[in-house]
Chain A
Amino acid sequence: MMTEERRLGLREAIKAETGFRNLCPETDVVEFDSLEVMGVCLAVEKYCSVEISFAEVQASETYGALEDLVAERAK
């Protein structure tokens, strides 16, 4: 699990790179288009120094799942 500070930091980093246009906080559903997926990969690399692939971001059905993947990879 990520700390709340880390979680917010990652969210801000993703927002900066993608605009966070399709994140719906209420339902936790992510619908990143292909441009946004690239932005997510860059944000995760910049903020967490974690390698995450285009395919992995696309496969994340919820934002929580994406965070969990990043947290797991960062261990």
Chain B
Amino acid sequence: MITSLGVAIPKSDASREWLSERVNENFVRTTGISHTWRFPGPASELAAHAVRAANVENVDRIEAVVCVTQSPDRSCPNMAYDVAREFGLRKDIPLIDVNQACAGFVYGLWLSTKLRLNVLLVVVDKLRMELGEAATNHFIFSDAAAAAVVDAHDTSWATPAYFHNEPEGVEKIVVSRAGFMRLKGADTFDFVCREVPRFINRCVTEDDNVLVQHAANLSMMNIVELRSGYSQRSISAIGETGNMSMVSIPAAIALKEQEALGKWLLLVGYGAGFSAALMQVLWPSGPVSRVVRV
């Protein structure tokens, strides 16, 4: 069970500086994005804010750290070490980083259930700052982090995860080591709208769950909902978050937690690769989330 969730969203509204010419009525209506957020510090600092928000009661009970990020402060050592040092975690636990994109939260949850430990799962991305002005699509992204304490000794609260990959999409969304992004928006839109609903319909038969999907843009999300039958059963906070990459899903849950309490949530992440991953989790019946602005 996910016993606590902390989400850190920067205070700095990047849309005022970067989006003034792009954020018009048409942009907001189509993408659903009216704000994007920028964190000026390192990703490890943003991650630490999320972990503090998760209010880990007893750090000695953490048995593993899984940190999912595409924008670590450095290549080596991995970011899980920063988390372990910052919070004085035990010295006998595995510290794992996973490089995944917008499906990263689902990957992290899946890995946590496989570990069958009490896992501190951290997802953090600073695409907005990493990409910089040179990247043509950088302006849709927001920096953010989330941290979840995942008690995976018992996994009855989670279904198996399913994955879908289309390696021909490898060149469609690329972030180079130098921080430049190449995003083929039309191809990405068609991949998501065509394949993600089929993926959901192929893997999920239940109809008493609520969809929480990656917040890429509102038109895409609406098409996914319509084609998969979830237009009346979904949770989204894209208007408040923008595209937070892998943090989109936990951010939506935390911001709209009242809609999630006691329900099976169908978490669907998708993006670079092309990739998609889904998993269903039973959300606790009482609030466990906290959102901080940093």
Report A's interface with B, CB cutoff 8 A: 17-19, 21, 34-39, 41-42, 45-46, 49, 51, 53-55, 58
Contacts and interface: CB of A to CB of B under 8 A. Distances in A.
Given A38-B219, A41-B189, A55-B190, 14 more contacts: A17-B219, A18-B30, A19-B25, A34-B185, A35-B26, A36-B30, A41-B193, A45-B222, A45-B223, A45-B226, A49-B226, A51-B194, A51-B227, A54-B187
Contacts of B190: 53-55
A35 B27 contact: yes
Contacts of A37: 186
B200 to A, nearest CB: 15
SS class of chain B's interface: helix, strand, loop or mixed?
helix
Given A36-B30, A38-B220, A45-B223, A58 B186 contact: yes
Interface residues of B, number: 20
Contacts of A45: 222-223, 226-227
Interface of B: 25-27, 29-31, 185-187, 189-190, 193-194, 217, 219-220, 222-223, 226-227
Interface of A is mostly: helix
Nearest to B189: A54
Contacts of A21: 26
B189 A38 contact: yes
Contacts of A49: 226
B26 A38 contact: no
A36 B223 contact: no
A17 B227 CA distance: 17
A15 B114 CA distance: 48
